Amino acid sequence: MSRPDNSSAPEAAPTGPGSPRDVPPAPGSFPIDPETLPDPIRDEVLAPDPIAINTSAEELKDGLNRCPKCGSTEIRQKPGSDLLVCLYCRNEWHGQRVEEEFGLGTGLDDLEGTIIASGAQNIAADAASLMSFKCTGCGAEVTINTDNAMTARCHWCRHVFGVNEQVANGAVPDAVLPFHIKKDDAVARIRQFVDKRRMFALKEFKDEFTPENVIGVYLPYMIVDGKASVDVAGQGEIETRRYTRQNGKQKTTYYDADVYQVERHVDFTVDDLPLESSTERGNLDTAANTNNIINTILPFDTKNAVKWNASFLSGFSSEKRDRDVDHLHPRLEDQLLSIARAQIEKSVGRYDRGVRWDEEDVQVHGSRWVSMYLPVWLYSYQQPGRNGGMLHYIAVNGRTGETMGSVPVQQWKLLLAALTVGTFIEGFVITFLAFAS
Amino acid sequence: MSDDSGLWLLSLGPAGAAGLYWALYRFYRNTDKSHAFEHETAVEAKPVTGSDHKINEIKGTQQTRINGDNVRAYRKRVRRLRRRDPG
Ligand SMILES: [Zn+2]
Ligand SMILES: [Zn+2]
């Protein structure tokens, strides 16, 4: 017999920097003081980051939402908001927020067991990718491929169809967070991001750079609430004395310290933790891909997500979820442990020589899972090379405008610049030594 | 300068070159970035509890930090205790 509990998650843990293993550096930090760098490099590094501009998503104008007041389909998103407005009778309304609809914002403290929203259920093995509809307008057959789209338009009468029912079990999410950042805005941000990184960029990348090719994609996530307890145990040291001894010319510093056995416990809840629910997107191994770029533009204002309505997806691409709650549980526990360790850090400040945690444990008392589509503008560039090369992304958060990217580098240029600066420093040192002796 | 000749200064050139290379590489490729969920997620924590017992004294070590310090490496997993092992 195989072990049913553990065999369900054969997922290799992502490693590389930017993976769940490494704490990322603070935003905007650069490991070297830019003032010490040559002017052109300093200017590039210090150039301003993309600024947030809030605009409407005009792309939603094709949506076939019906006005609850007059039934008209002439509906648009009101610029800069999640409101929908009827152009016929001027009625305005809000998409049903899942927060209120499912009671998601409340009761975190009372969570028990694993609560799974209907759209977050296990994906049925036979869930078809192709779904067909008969057009009520003209009788034509319209097919939607749910691997990359949730809407399609009838070629004959322009009627728009959407996968609005959760027919294929688990294949349709519970909620969607509509785009707020317009394409023009995303293009401007991507251009600004790359302008800041031109000097050492791969020549082919610069030649082929066309940010207008950016595409709006809804990516699948599980949004998780949880209630957990974490215990950790280890040793901490407090310095009691510090002294130096002269041994010939050599000065050596010695330390005395008290060693403590340290144990900590914390109970906590988390609200709206986002987890990638596609195997590919969840693989953050930076040696093999640049998915960490997309991960970095998290979080989203998931509190504003509205109940699933395919009309919001008109004009956008989408990716399908292929991970179920069971697969993602190890990832949830991992992140809960990291969150708890960050909470506990504040309580061990007196150990000025640091703490070494040796053991840790998490108990998840309860969790609540909602499947959601989140809006991302994606610009991609395929860098040729060994093993199929590398696919680089520049990603823009479709709500906040947060932008992050991976720009392929021209290795010889970068090496040359580094060696030049190194040689300059070396020359300075040699001159200094010559004078000092 | 004492008469330990300061030859170690010669390592500044190579170190500077390597440091600049990696800093710029990361600035372009951002391989070190990821979502800082520890600080960007809404967390409601009860006060941290626990115990501290002095178990030893160290005299005259040259190490500046505890061996294996991981207090800030939240994401480095350590041995998992399983108090309620179902198996
Ligand atoms: Zn109306
Ligand atoms: Zn038709």
Mind listing the pLDDT tens digit for each residue in A203-213?
999 999 999 99
**Domain ranges within chain B, ordered by starting residue:** 1-30
Residue with the larger pLDDT of the pair A348 and A430: A348
Residue A429: CB partners within 8 Å, gap ≥ 6? B9, B10, B12, B13
Contacts of A345 in chain B (CB under 8 A): 71-72, 74
> Does residue A392 fall inside a structural domain?
yes
Under the banding of pLDDT at 50, 70 and 90, the label for residue B4 is low
**Ligand nearest to the CA of residue A88, numbered in listed order:** 1
pLDDT higher than threshold 80 for residue A388: yes
Peptide bond into A299 cis (omega under 30): yes
Asked if the C-beta of A21 comes within 8 angstroms of chain B's C-beta atoms, the answer is: yes
Within a domain: residue A159? Answer: yes
- The tokens for A92 are 């305005």
Give the pLDDT confidence score for residue A78 in this predicted structure.
62
Q: Does B8 touch chain A (CB under 8 A)?
A: no
Task: Name the pLDDT band for B87 (thresholds 50, 70, 90).
Answer: very low
Q: What is the CA radius of gyration of chain A?
A: 27
Residue A430 lies in a domain: no
Q: Rounded CA gap, A299 and A284, in Å?
A: 16
Ligand nearest to the CA of A69: 1
Tokens representing A100 are 């209120």
CB A270 within 8 A of CB A104: no
The two three-digit tokens of residue A43, written as one number: 């200017």
Residues A432, A95: Cα–Cα separation, whole Å: 70
Q: Residues B63, A288: contact at Cβ < 8 Å?
A: no
* Interchain proximity B13–A361, CB inside 8 Å: no
Q: For A321-367, give the secondary structure using H, E and C.
A: CCCCHHHHHHHHHHHHHHHHHHHHHHHHCCCCCCEEEEEEEEEEEEE
Q: What are the DSSP E strand ranges found in A92-214? A: 92-94, 113-116, 130-134, 141-145, 151-153, 160-162, 175-176
Residue A359: CB atoms within 10 A of its CB come to 13
The alpha-carbon gap from A44 to the nearest alpha carbon of chain B, in Å, equals 10
Instruction: Give contacts of A414 with chain B, Cβ < 8 Å.
Output: 21, 24-25
List CB contacts (< 8 A) between B8 and chain A. none
DSSP state of A8: T
Is the model's pLDDT at B50 over the cut of 70? yes
Number of Cβ within 10 Å of residue A147's Cβ equals: 11
pLDDT on residue A67? 67
Q: Decide if A418 and B24 are in contact by the 8 Å CB cutoff.
A: yes
Residue A418 is assigned to a structural domain of this protein = no
A5 within some domain: no
Into how many domains does chain A fold? Answer: 1
Question: What pTM value is reported for the model?
Answer: 0.83
Q: Is the pLDDT of residue A241 over 60?
A: yes
Task: Give the CA count within 13 Å in the CB-facing half-sphere of A182.
Answer: 15
Q: CA torsion sign, A280 to A285 to A291 to A294? A: positive
Q: What is the DSSP string of B16-80?
A: HHHHHHHHHHHHHH-TT----HHHHSEEEEPPPEEEEEEEEEEEEE--SS-TT--SS-TTS--EE
CA distance A234 to chain B (A): 10
Q: Please provide the DSSP assignment of A82-119 as one string.
A: SEEEETTT--EEE--BHHHHTTTTS-GGG--EEEE-GG
**pLDDT at residue A167, as a whole number:** 54
